[in-house]
């Protein structure tokens, strides 16, 4: 039997309290809402191991159409833990990194929407400007600008 090969990474998932706030934040970052739906039933719970579940999801897509972010709001069962304020060196911590055209233009716009710059915008050699931003609901994202 032939070894199965990886085809692509489909999406990264993030659980949130407010789908609307998360959609607004990631729209400001530059993603587009691809679709929104409720996923429920015994089949879904068999995939996640949570049993009977009801989850509202929104799929956001990058402008190039290659990367997606699945934002989920659990209705049942309720969320059981909150890792949003964990520092970037916490085990299992997840953040998404986005390449943007102009960090210096985008960061102030995100701050107007309640985001906070985690450290500072730094230049890495002559190749990137980088920063971390804590946005909607305290979600951590990275921004990179190719120089």
What are the pLDDT digits (tens) for 136-145? 788 889 999 9
56 has pLDDT over 90: yes
Q: Where are the domains of the chain?
A: 12-146
> CA–CA separation, 14 vs 67, rounded Å?
14
3-state secondary structure of 78: coil
* pTM of the entire predicted model: 0.87
Beta strands (DSSP E) in the chain are 12-15, 32-41, 53-61, 68-76, 96-99, 116-117, 122-124, 128-134, 140-146
Q: Which residue has the tokens 């309720």?
A: 78
% of the chain at pLDDT higher than 70: 100
> CA–CA separation, 63 vs 68, rounded Å?
10
pLDDT band for position 80 (50/70/90)?
confident
3-state secondary structure of 81: coil
pLDDT band for position 43 (50/70/90)?
confident
Secondary structure letter of residue 127 according to DSSP: T
Model pLDDT for residues 90-130, shown as the tens digit of each residue: 887 778 899 999 999 999 999 998 999 999 999 999 999 99
3-state secondary structure of 9: coil
CATH class of this structure's domain 12-146: alpha beta
Asked if 128 and 144 touch (Cβ cutoff 8 Å), the reply is yes
* Secondary structure of 107-125 in HEC code, one letter for each residue: HHHHHHCCCEECCCCEEEC
Across residues 45-62, what is the average pLDDT?
87
Q: Which residue has the tokens 């997840």?
A: 94
52 has pLDDT over 90: no
């Amino acid at each position: 039997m032939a070894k199965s090969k990886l085809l692509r990474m489909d999406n990264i998932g993030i659980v949130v309290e407010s789908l609307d706030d998360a959609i607004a934040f990631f729209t400001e970052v530059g993603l587009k809402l691809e679709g929104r739906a409720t996923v429920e039933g015994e089949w879904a719970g068999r995939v996640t191991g949570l049993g009977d579940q009801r989850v509202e999801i929104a799929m956001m897509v990058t402008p190039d159409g290659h990367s997606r972010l699945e934002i989920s709001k659990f209705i049942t069962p309720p969320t059981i833990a909150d890792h949003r304020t964990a520092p970037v060196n916490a085990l299992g911590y997840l953040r998404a990194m986005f390449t943007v055209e102009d960090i210096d233009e985008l960061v102030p716009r995100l701050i107007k929407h309640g985001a906070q710059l985690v450290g500072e915008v730094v230049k890495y050699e002559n190749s990137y400007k980088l920063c971390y931003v804590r946005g909607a609901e305290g979600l951590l994202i990275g921004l990179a600008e190719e120089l």
